[in-house]
Amino acid sequence: MIRINEHYLKLKASYLFSDIAKRVTAYQQRHPDSPIIRLGIGDVTHALPKACIEAFHQAVDEMATDTTFRGYGPEQGYEFLRQAIAENDFKSRGADISTDEIFISDGAKCDTGNIQEIFDINSRIAIPDPVYPVYLDTNVMAGRTGAFQDGRYEGIVYLDSHAENQFIPDLPSEPVDLIYLCFPNNPTGVTISSDQLKKWVDFAVANKAIILFDAAYEAFIRDDRLPHSIYEIEGARQVAIEFRSFSKTAGFTGTRCAYTVVPKSLQVTTSSGDKISIHDLWNRRQSTKFNGVSYPVQRAAAATYSNAGKQQVAELIDGYMTNAALIRKSMQTLGYGCVGGENSPYIWVSTGQDSWGFFDMLLEKAGVVCTPGAGFGNCGEGYIRISAFNSHENVTTALARISQALTP
C-alpha cells in the first residue's frame, strides 16, 4: 500500500504567508470598498530596470530566429552571467570566487530549501529564531526533526535572537553540523560586522560544520564597514555556502533568477573517512534535477551589471531604502522600538503585545498588512515586520493610517 512521507504531517497546518493571505481575503470580503496597502510579504512593486527589459527583449528576439535560437542551456548557468557575478559581486570586494563555483538558479528560496538534501539525514541543524520559515520547514520535511512541541521542533538547535543580543544569535553551545545564517537578516533587518561573522567562521572551522549563508539582501547594505559576502571573511571558503538573489535587488520576484556559490575547497568526510567535494555533489544534484534558468532571464540578469543597469538598480534600492527610513522614523515617533531599516528593507517593530493581535488590529483599523513576528518563531512573538517594498506614495499613506490607528 502506498504511503506518504509522514514527516510532512509534522509541519504546522499552514505556511505563514498563507495565513496572512486568508486573513486579508476575509477582510476584503467584509470591506469590499476599503483599499488595503501591503507592507507584509517581501514582494517588490516597481518594474524591472530598463536595462533588463532591453536585454530581455533582445534575447527573446534571438529565440525567434533559428540561427540565434537557444535550447537547453547549461544547468549551472551561462558563462556570461556567471562571469559577471564573479567579477562584480566577489572579486571586486576581494573575495576569491571563480566562475565555475557559481550556480544560477530560479530562486534563493529554492536553493536554501534544496541544499539540505545533499547532507546526511542525521546532521545536527542550527537555525536562528526568528527565521525565514523555509530553512526550518524543509528540514522538517526531510525528517531531521521530532514533533512540534511548544512552538518548536524536537531535534533542532535553535539560535535565539532577541533584543539582549542585538538580534545576532550567540554561537551554539553544543556541536552542530549545519548552521543557517541570514544577513542582512530576514525578518529582523539587522546586519553583522566582519568581526562578528569571523567568530561564526572560526566556530565552523573548529567544529567541522558548514554555514549556509543567505545574503539575499546584501545590496541594501549602506555601511561600507559591513561585509556583503561571507567570503570576505578569512577561512570562509572552507566552511560556507552562500545564496544570492536578483529578486529584491532588481525586481526579479516574478522573473526568477538567483545563484548559489559553492567553493571547490569545501569538503566533507564520509562515514568511511573519504573526503567528498560539496561542489561536485551540488553540481550533480543540479544536473539531475534542474534544467537551468531560461536564456532571456539570464540575459536580463546580466544586464544588471552593465553601467546603466547598476545605476538603475541603485535607484530602485534607494527608493526602497527611503521608504525604510521613513517607516522606522514613523514607528519610533509613535513610541515603538525598531531595528532594521538602515541596511535592510525590513523594519522589526517591538509591539509589546501579541503579534497576530497587532497584525489584526492594523488590518482592521488601518487597512495595512504587515507580518506578525510569531510566524517567524517563538522569539518573534511581540514583534511585527514591516516591509519597505511599495511605492513611496503608498508607504506614506499607510504610515498616516497607522498613526491614526495607534494614536489614542
**Helix (H) / strand (E) containing 156:** strand 156-160
Banded model confidence at residue 13, pLDDT cuts 50, 70, 90: low
First to last CA, the chain: 61
DSSP-based three-state secondary structure for 182: strand
Comparing C-alpha atoms, which of 374, 378, 336, 334 is closest to residue 357?
374
212-216 mean pLDDT? 98
For residue 27, the tally of other CB atoms under 10 A from its CB is: 17
**Lowest-confidence region among 4-13, 77-86, 91-100:** 4-13
Query: Domains of the chain by range and CATH?
Result: 6-47+308-406 (3.90.1150.10), 53-306 (3.40.640.10)
Q: Quick one: CA dihedral 38, 297, 249, 17, positive or negative? A: positive
Tens of pLDDT, residues 93-143: 999 999 999 999 999 999 999 999 999 999 999 999 999 999 999 999 999
Cross-sheet strand order for the sheet of 383-387: 338-340, 346-350, 383-387, 371-372
Please report the pLDDT score of residue 271 as a whole number.
87
352 alpha carbon, distance to own chain's centre: 26
Tens of pLDDT, residues 308-358: 999 999 999 999 999 999 999 999 999 999 999 999 999 999 999 999 999
Contact 273, 208 (CB under 8 A): no
For residue 330, the tally of other CB atoms under 10 A from its CB is: 20
Contact 213, 233 (CB under 8 A): no
217-236 mean pLDDT? 97
- pLDDT surpasses 90 at 194: yes
Banded model confidence at residue 15, pLDDT cuts 50, 70, 90: confident
Contact 388, 327 (CB under 8 A): yes
Banded model confidence at residue 19, pLDDT cuts 50, 70, 90: confident
DSSP-based three-state secondary structure for 73: coil
**Helix (H) / strand (E) containing 387:** strand 383-387
Please report the pLDDT score of residue 41 as a whole number.
78
Contact 371, 41 (CB under 8 A): yes
Task: State what percent of residues in the chain have pLDDT above 70.
Answer: 100
| Distance in angstroms (rounded) separating the CA atoms of residues 74 and 31 | 50
Please report the pLDDT score of residue 16 as a whole number.
83
- pLDDT surpasses 90 at 53: yes
| Distance in angstroms (rounded) separating the CA atoms of residues 381 and 205 | 33
Banded model confidence at residue 49, pLDDT cuts 50, 70, 90: very high
Please report the pLDDT score of residue 14 as a whole number.
65
Tens of pLDDT, residues 269-284: 888 989 999 999 999 9
Average pLDDT, the chain: 96
Contact 158, 129 (CB under 8 A): yes
pTM reported for the whole predicted model: 0.96
| Distance in angstroms (rounded) separating the CA atoms of residues 79 and 89 | 15
Comparing C-alpha atoms, which of 351, 378, 404, 403 is closest to residue 136?
378
Please report the pLDDT score of residue 18 as a whole number.
83
